[in-house]
A and B are shown apart, each in its own frame.
Chain A
Amino acid sequence: MAAQPDPGRSTEQIVSQFLSKALHAILAARIPFIHGPTIPTSRPPRKRDRWFHLALGDPPPALEHPSGLLPNGVMEPLVVDILLSPREDPTMPEAIVERWVAQCEVPAPWSPLHSPAESSSNSFLVKRTYKKSIILLRSIYSVLRLLPAQRVFKMLCASNQSYNYDLTYRVSSFAEPFSRKEEAEFRSHYFSPVETQYGQLAVSVQYRPSLSQFNLEISSLLPPMLITDYVGSPAADPMRTFPASPSERSATRSSISYSFRGSRDGRPSTSAPASAPLFNRPHSWTGAPNEGPSHRAQPAHQPPTGSQRKPTFNFDEFKFSPPFYMSPTPSPPKFSGSYMQSPLRAESAPVSIPQSGTSKVKGLRSPNLSDPTRNFLPPPSPKSARTAEPSSQDSESKSFRKPDGLRISDAYSNMYGTPKGPKDGKDDSGRFSLSGSPRFTFSRSSSRISVPDDLDDPDFSYPFAVDDVDSSDSQARSNDGKEALDFGHASSSHKSQDAAVGELVHMLKTAAPLRDSTYSSQSSKSELQEEGLGSTSSFFMSRMASDALDELQSYKNIKEMLLSQSRAKLHESLRRNN
């Protein structure tokens, strides 16, 4: 007979997974860019998705191990504060817009729910708990979309602009209760609790019914600047890499500090791996994208008497930047101050092909405007970016996750060794700071453009959208039998040269047929006589014809020169190859 699963352990696992999934749902609906790319429908559901029959995709790194979420077990409450953090003025306080509380409440001894469940009905209770948890999670998911903060979240996600506020979060096992005045500003919604073997799994949310007091507007953090080498500019080198968005750049100045005061607890955690940390102290962690070292000091708080929680609750908080942990979406190309220092280049407007065969036509350099691999256009919006570039985002988000996951695990491992100290003692043994610069300089912007170093012909015009092909490409093309025109620079654009030649040929072909000058003059004379015009007109007509002939001759000379040069280059390249 197969051993029956322990109902107690099953219930604990259900509650633990429920809290983890609830947190995942809350953060995914409130913190911009914390979530990975949208789950492809073709991807088979993973084991994690099957929990509560709600596929939410891969969780953020901090939620990879649900055991780390509740180191003191499932009886510890989970408090998630969603905050609006002013971006431009760090001195302004953050404001809590939502507070989610999920906990397993042990019923009072006099409550009819306090009677222990019979062993024979334990499995039935587990199944019922699981089924109700499924519905409760669906309700949480729905309510998240109906609360006012959803609108703010959508604004921050959808727009490529940066706003004067950020949505951040704070997760802890205990939070300071609101004052009476604050309490009056909030409304509450209580979900029906789910009965479990350990008590009632209760979830509630306090939220601000209106966020109009926060004037959410586009941030004016960036000073106005004159951008000369914009994306698509003729002066911009296609291979130039533009820096990340200002939010990412500002985050490079922030450091992530973790401080832990923890101690080893001998109580085993059934749902955690063997190496999971065990504490008898709650902890909290927050997500703040653009903050420096933690300035917030959460005072030690004594829980209300009569509570069945442990009497000592001191917690430190550490902040990290979940949006830049994940940062799956490309940010709009923003230009750093170094761009302002670059010399202004006088760029001429595109003009037609030069009419003379002089050496004005020197280096043909044009931006890579048509190469699809070099995206000159602003990156798409986050949603479309997620759907449009799944593979790249997958790889990049994974590259984010791994180091961050390792860092989090390092943080937890640091907690193992911290001895039991005084409740309010400052223990720096677990403190370490994470520099966000490697992470923050990673730009998901798809506009990787390099500035050319040697644009020395500002008067040259780029009438065509052409590729910027280097010498190796030119050899390849010449080997293919295409004509490669080089005006003396390695980075000349063959397509533009081809286009120039093509245009010339087209002009020559479509030019009005030139009559014989005598015939034309005679005919024009006759025409003019017929029309009653004087001899000066005929002279003028013949003059125009001769000019046209001269022009034609010059075009032909240019063409022959170009062709001869290209042939010479081709021979040279073939000789080098051989």
Chain B
Amino acid sequence: MNCETCQLKELELDPTEIRDVLRCVVHTIFFHRALGLVRPKDVDCELFEITYVQCGDAELEKKIDEKLEQFVAWSEKHPNRKSQVCLSFYEVKSKQSSWFGSKVERHYWEHWIVNVNVHPINPPRSSFLNNREKVLEETSTRRSALETSVREILFQIIKFANEKQEHIPPVTNTEVVSFPYEISTPR
């Protein structure tokens, strides 16, 4: 079975933006790959005027938040570095390795790689009173550019999720997240 990989466009984030942006991206991926019965839940981003959709599964939300917290903690220890958050879907297959036992293997069939460049965005040090408006304007410009990038990434996810479907295994259970998955963060 083929394994498809989707490399998403790189995001330049301030540490304060990591959670909001990555939550939006990861949930959108899950919404397109969790093929069980979902009750969609609209969620508004905190920092942008973007509404994305969650699957409405509390356990999934909790796991995603845990992983994102791990990533945030890592990025605080390793500032100004490019990194990746990888969401992978796999199948579990048992392989007869010897006469006496079988080995469980994971056959990954899809990887979603979220490229992130985290670096604090510091306003230029100058006279605060004189450049306050300028600083606000630059922040606003940067934020709207980031919002545009996030939108592009969401459309990229939707496009990939629709175009690449042949490799998706059949749905065998009725759970919300119908396929086992793994979220990998740098260590």
Contact = CB atoms under 8 A, between A and B. Distances in A.
B31 A131 contact: no
B162 interface: yes
A523 B58 CA distance: 76
A138 interface: yes
B180 interface: no
Contacts, number: 71
Given A138-B31, A138-B32, A146 B51 contact: yes
Contacts of A141: 31, 40, 53
Contacts of A136: 162
A135 B39 contact: no
Contacts of B161: 135, 138-139
A145 B170 contact: no
A138 B56 CA distance: 13
A564 interface: no
B49 interface: yes
A55 B51 contact: no
A292 B37 CA distance: 41
B42 interface: yes
A53 B52 contact: no
A41 B57 CA distance: 10
B167 to A, nearest CB: 12
B15 to A, nearest CB: 26
A150 B40 CA distance: 16
Contact of B52 (A50, A142, A154, A191): A142
A150 B32 contact: no
A50 B155 CA distance: 26
Nearest to B150: A146
Given A145-B42, A191-B162, A135 B35 contact: yes
Interface in A157-203: 189, 191-192
B171 A131 contact: yes
A426 interface: no
Interface of chain A, main secondary structure: helix
Interface residues of A, number: 28
A151 interface: yes
Contact of A134 (B35, B39, B163): B35
A45 B162 contact: no
A59 to B, nearest CB: 15
Given A131-B168, A135-B165, A192-B163, A145 B53 contact: yes
A39 interface: yes
A2 B182 CA distance: 40
Contact of A146 (B50, B159, B162, B165): B50
A127 interface: yes
Contacts of A150: 51
Contact of B37 (A41, A55, A131, A192): A55
A329 B52 CA distance: 24
A435 B168 CA distance: 52
A127 B53 CA distance: 25
Interface in A492-521: none
Given A45-B37, A50-B37, A135-B161, A142 B49 contact: no
B85 interface: no
Contacts of B52: 142, 145
Interface residues of B, number: 28
Nearest to B31: A138
A132 interface: yes
Contacts of B159: 192
Contacts of A191: 162
Interface in B136-169: 151, 154-155, 158-159, 161-163, 165, 168
B88 interface: no
Interface in A139-153: 139, 141-143, 145-146, 150-151
Contacts of A145: 42, 51-53
A55 B37 CA distance: 7
Contacts of A39: 39
B32 A142 contact: yes
Contacts of A41: 39, 56
A239 interface: no
A191 B32 CA distance: 13
Interface string B168-184: 10110000000000000
Contact of A135 (B37, B51, B154, B162): B162
Contacts of A55: 37-40
A49 interface: yes
Contact of A53 (B36, B53, B154, B158): B36
B165 A131 contact: yes
Contacts of B151: 146
Contacts of A276: none
Nearest to A151: B49
Nearest to B166: A128
Contacts of A53: 35-38
A117 B131 CA distance: 68
B75 interface: no
Interface string B95-128: 0000000000000000000000000000000000
B42 to A, nearest CB: 6
Interface of A: 39, 41, 45, 49-50, 53-56, 127, 131-132, 134-136, 138-139, 141-143, 145-146, 150-151, 154, 189, 191-192
26 contacts: A45-B39, A49-B39, A53-B35, A54-B37, A56-B40, A131-B168, A131-B170, A131-B171, A134-B35, A135-B35, A135-B161, A135-B162, A135-B165, A136-B162, A138-B32, A138-B53, A139-B32, A139-B161, A142-B31, A142-B52, A142-B53, A143-B155, A145-B53, A146-B155, A151-B49, A191-B162
Query: 6 tightest A-B contacts by CB?
Result: A192-B162, A145-B51, A53-B37, A55-B39, A139-B158, A192-B163
Given A54-B37, A141-B53, 8 more contacts: A41-B56, A55-B40, A135-B35, A135-B161, A142-B28, A142-B32, A145-B53, A146-B51
